[in-house]
Amino acid sequence: MAYYLGTMHAGRLEVFRSKSRPTRNNTNARYKSYRGPMPEIAAHYLKYREESGYPALPTGTTAADLASLAETDQDFYWQALRIVLNAPAADKLVMHEVEAAEYNPDTQAETGYPIFIPRQYART
């Protein structure tokens, strides 16, 4: 699903995603204009640039250029925001690893803890 940066009628910027190209009908005339499609990080970076008073981007800047700018910009506040934006993806990755370990215990290293079987259940 593609991401877009929409300008609302009050002038506020909003990042949104849409399966198809946004129109007045399928967005209920919520936005007076939009830019996109682009990757999510590029849309958030463009919004950050405009709200922070950065100079305008040169004409001909593509979505791929914007995504690479987002990755390399050293602005402290942008880097903090980028970490927050990427956190759900990192959490999802960790959750997949935990679930994989849970359902595939044979792939995990031995812990070395002894297992005590009560005498009544032990085979003799």
Which band of pLDDT confidence, cut at 50, 70 and 90, is reported for residue 112?
low
Q: Report CA-CA distances (Å) from 120 to 17, 102, 123, 124.
A: 61, 29, 8, 10
pLDDT for 78 equals 87
Q: How much is the mean pLDDT over the chain?
A: 81
**The pLDDT value given to residue 56:** 86
pLDDT tens string 14-42: 898 888 888 888 888 888 888 888 888 88
Angle, helices 40-51/63-72, rounded to nearest 10 degrees: 70
Q: What is the pTM for the complete model shown? A: 0.64
**Percentage of residues in the chain having pLDDT higher than 90:** 3
Are the C-beta atoms of residues 42 and 70 closer than 8 Å to each other? yes
Q: Quick check: 3 pLDDT over 60?
A: yes
